[in-house]
Amino acid sequence: MAIHQHGSGNTVSDRFRSLVVRESGEGFVRAIEERSTGDLPGGDVLVRVRYSSLNYKDALSATGNRGVTRRYPHTPGIDAAGEVVESSAPEFQPGDVVTVTDYDLGMNTPGGWGEMIRVPADWVVPLPEGLTPETSMAVGTAGLTAALSVLEVTNAGITLDQGDVLVTGATGGVGSFAVAILAQAGFGVIAATGKPNANSFLMDLGATEVIGREDVDGDPARPMLRGRWAAVVDTVGGPILAAALKSVQPSGVVTCCGLVADPELHTTVYPFILRGIRLIGVDCAECPIAIRHDLWTMLAGGWRVDGLAGMYRTVALEDVDAEVGRMLEGKSRGRVVVKHRECPVLQ
């Protein structure tokens, strides 16, 4: 067994555990396997992963969705946080604590559900002060997407005195962070959810009011509805997004980042040409690294969520298989952080 020397004097084996998705005659199966760093693709930075997370995109990859992952066997996990083991890039040294989120990680590049990843240096962000590997994964892609959505709202000129902001899919990973970040920034937040027992959870995050999905829908036959929101952070797509577009106040903004309800959008041009609203797509996966640095800094500082501990739960790698099913059945709430076993380089 080969041993690599770590900069702090600790050692780390080139063998590691990974949750691998394989295609079989009966579909796709998931199992924890032992892998080698030699199985990883080329890249500038080798990272020992201590924490990862479960996102909707991970659940799709873990169940064989070819729109997310083209080739199997594969290790999902679009989020990872840990410590640099080896680096050919001068900006990173062994021992640096870092995060890697999005780009191709966990999609077609082996992801954070493995104890090791190897990635290009320009995917890697030094962990900002104020966050730990665990709390950074509680934030993860969901928190970054929420922060980018809120940034689009504020960059569009929406101010606190213009009215409330609607967040759809508010109990999900992105939605719950959007509620918390908007509240932290001082906005009145209307949280829409299909989960009847989520009121206290959402109010604790800072929601001004919690409403049901049906309260957003209105009359689907009408091309316009009463203007109710200064802005909307939509995380689900489909009919709810269509209804939200009809209900935005003049010059309002709607951000769109999800498709869990439906990837199709049926609407008219009326809200756009009669109210001058804007629909802004949010793509965190290819967010420029400079903006990504800024978002992490904001999430560790002024947009840091006070109630973060109540927004996630931690599971072991062995529990991920069951959690994938819960997410796809719509039974997951908040964030799921995946904790790898203790490893020598992160004592």
Give pairs for 38-41: CB < 8 Å, separation 24+: 38/14, 39/110, 40/110, 40/116, 40/117, 40/118, 41/109, 41/110, 41/118
Minimum mean pLDDT range among 25-34, 89-98, 104-113: 25-34
Query: Which pLDDT score is estimated for 259?
Result: 87
44-53: pLDDT as tens digits: 999 999 999 9
Three-point CA angle 183, 189, 192, nearest 5°: 130
Q: How many residues does the chain have?
A: 347
Please list the residues that pair with 315 across neighbouring strands. 338
- Structural domains in the chain, CATH included, are 3-130+308-346 (3.90.180.10), 140-281 (3.40.50.720)
Inform me whether the pLDDT recorded for 100 exceeds 70.
Answer: yes
How large is the average pLDDT for residues 9-13? 52
Structure confidence at residue 9 as a pLDDT band (50, 70, 90): very low
How large is the average pLDDT for residues 229-238? 96
25-45: pLDDT as tens digits: 889 999 999 999 999 999 999
Three-point CA angle 82, 86, 92, nearest 5°: 75
Structure confidence at residue 261 as a pLDDT band (50, 70, 90): confident
Minimum mean pLDDT range among 91-100, 214-223, 307-316: 214-223
Instruction: Select the more confidently predicted residue: 64 or 7.
Output: 64
| Cβ atoms of 146 and 305 closer than 8 Å | no
Q: Smallest Cα–Cα separation from 137: which of 86, 100, 107?
A: 100
Query: Which pLDDT score is estimated for 173?
Result: 87
Query: Which pLDDT score is estimated for 137?
Result: 97
Inform me whether the pLDDT recorded for 345 exceeds 60.
Answer: no
137-191: pLDDT as tens digits: 999 999 999 999 999 999 999 999 999 999 999 998 899 999 999 999 999 999 9
DSSP notation for 152-170: HHHHTT--GGG--EEESST
